[in-house]
A = this chain, B = another copy of it.
Amino acid sequence: MSDALAAFLDLGWSCLECGAVDAEAPARFPCLATVSPEGWPEARSVALRRADRPAGELEVHTDPASDKVAALRANPRAALHIWEPTLRLQLRLSVTVALLTGEAARNRWDDIPDEARRSYGKTPRQGAVIPGPFSYEITAAFEDFAVLLCRLHQIDLVELHENHRRATYQAENDWAGDKLGFIDQKRSQVAVG
């Protein structure tokens, strides 16, 4: 890979890694696009919880009863979109999503602070039999927790500056970028819409 291609990919990963650790970073809240069981594209904000470059993985936490989980059970392909306004960088990521629930999600759950765990609870399901308020609270919250383990297939980067550049990297050729270069104003419009 050329130095320029490698440096551009490094920039993209820096952005993702910031999002995973900094709640104020633009990459903290990507837009996750999935396909519903009825074939409709769907998009919503999610919170990026982990970015692991060596593994080529990103992680999002959610509720297994959410629409996005129903969509991913039917079609595990997803896209993540981020616009980083300071860098003027658009990241478009293609991923396949493995859904971890129950014991498979236990180690992630153990790392979540008590306060944050409340995000994954729900009001009691109607008709549910619960032994008491304390055990209900703990049990229900963990049951309402799912990990979306996003395995990266492709990273597409577009940077809009006076001279724009765009590159696409794929897992199948070990993230060697297959194009890079200054693209003119006209062409970049195609890239970003």
Contact = CB atoms under 8 A, between A and B. Distances in A.
Given A35-B39, A39-B75, A92 B189 contact: no
Contacts of A120: 186, 189
A105 interface: no
Contact of A79 (B43, B62, B63, B122): B43
Contacts of A147: none
B35 A41 contact: yes
A60 interface: yes
A46 interface: yes
A151 to B, nearest CB: 14
Interface stretch (A1-9, A25-33, A125-133, A169-177): A25-33
A139 interface: no
Given A120-B189, A122-B187, A189-B120, A45 B77 contact: no
A145 B33 CA distance: 26
Contacts of A34: 41
